[in-house]
C-alpha cells in the first residue's frame, strides 16, 4: 500500500489523484484474520502542507461470535482521512521537522498507508460480533452450542416444585 507522490507534490494545491484499490492484506496484522482483499477508492489531494489522503474501503475478517464463540465472517467498511506531510522540503531537499504522531511522506516521496489502514480496521471492528442476531450462545454448564439444539442442563434446572406438579398430572 505504498504510493509514490513525487508528481503530486509538485502540483498546485488542490490537485488530486484517484486510485482504485484492490489489494491482498492477509499479512497486515498477526491478530487479524483477513479473508477478503481490501477494496475501495482512494483520493489524494495536494494541500498547502502535504497530501490529504481520503478513502472508503471494505474488507472482511474472520472473528469469533461473542456468544457462541463460533467463527464468523464480518464485513468491515471504513473511511480514512489523514494528512501526510513530507519529510523533505520539495524545493530545497532539506529535512523538515516533525512530531512522532504525524503520518509522513518519506524521503523517497512514498506514502505508506499500511499503518493507517491497520489502525482503521481495528477501530471499525464491532465490539461484540455475533454470528446471527438471535444467537443463543452456549450453555455455561456443559458448553453445548445452543444454536445446535438444547442440552440436558435446562431440564435438570427445572424448579423441583414444578417437577412435583408435573408428576401429579
Binding-site residue total for Zn ion (CB under 5 A)? 11
Q: Does 65 bind Zn ion (CB under 5 A)?
A: yes
Helix (H, G, I), strand (E, B) or coil at 160: helix
Query: Distances from the Cα of 3 to the Cαs of 9, 105, 131, in angstroms?
Result: 12, 9, 37
DSSP letter at 42 equals E
Query: Which of 35, 141, 158, 163: binder of Zn ion (CB under 5 A)?
Result: 141
**Which residue, 110 or 139, is less far from Zn ion as judged by CB?**
139
Query: Which of 8, 38, 105, 131: binder of Zn ion (CB under 5 A)?
Result: 131
Query: Distances from the Cα of 26 to the Cαs of 19, 20, 68, 111, in angstroms?
Result: 20, 19, 25, 20
> Which segment (21-29, 47-55, 99-107, 145-153) binds Zn ion by CB under 5 A?
145-153
DSSP letter at 164 equals H
Binding flags for Zn ion, 89-128, as an x/- string (CB under 5 A): ----------------------------------------
> Which segment (44-52, 89-97, 147-155, 160-168) binds Zn ion by CB under 5 A?
147-155
> Which segment (16-24, 33-41, 68-76, 82-90) binds Zn ion by CB under 5 A?
68-76
- How far, in Å, CA of 32 to CA of 98, rounded? 30
> Which segment (74-82, 97-105, 120-128, 150-158) binds Zn ion by CB under 5 A?
150-158
Provide the minimum distance between the beta carbon of 74 and Zn ion in the complex, in angstroms, as a whole number.
12
- Give every CB contact of residue 104 below 8 A, 6+ residues apart in sequence: 84, 85, 86, 87, 98
Q: Does 34 bind Zn ion (CB under 5 A)?
A: no
- How far, in Å, CA of 20 to CA of 102, rounded? 25
Amino acid at each position: 500500500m505504498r504510493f509514490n507522490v513525487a508528481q503530486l507534490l509538485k502540483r498546485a494545491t488542490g490537485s488530486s489523484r484517484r486510485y482504485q484499490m484492490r489489494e491482498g492484506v492477509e499479512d497486515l496484522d498477526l491478530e487479524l484474520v483477513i479473508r477478503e482483499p481490501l477494496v475501495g477508492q482512494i483520493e489524494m489531494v495536494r494541500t498547502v502542507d502535504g497530501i490529504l489522503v481520503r478513502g472508503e474501503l471494505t474488507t472482511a475478517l474472520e472473528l469469533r461470535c461473542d456468544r457462541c464463540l463460533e467463527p464468523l465472517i464480518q464485513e468491515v467498511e471504513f473511511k480514512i482521512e489523514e494528512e501526510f506531510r513530507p519529510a523533505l522540503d520539495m524545493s530545497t531537499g532539506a529535512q523538515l521537522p516533525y512530531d512522532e504522531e504525524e503520518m509522513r511522506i518519506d524521503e523517497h516521496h512514498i506514502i505508506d498507508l499500511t499503518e493507517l489502514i491497520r489502525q482503521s480496521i481495528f477501530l471499525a471492528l464491532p465490539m461484540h460480533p455475533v454470528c446471527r442476531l438471535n444467537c443463543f450462545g452456549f450453555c455455561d454448564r456443559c458448553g453445548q452450542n445452543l444454536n445446535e439444539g438444547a442440552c440436558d442442563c435446562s431440564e435438570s434446572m427445572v424448579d423441583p416444585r414444578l417437577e412435583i406438579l408435573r408428576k401429579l398430572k
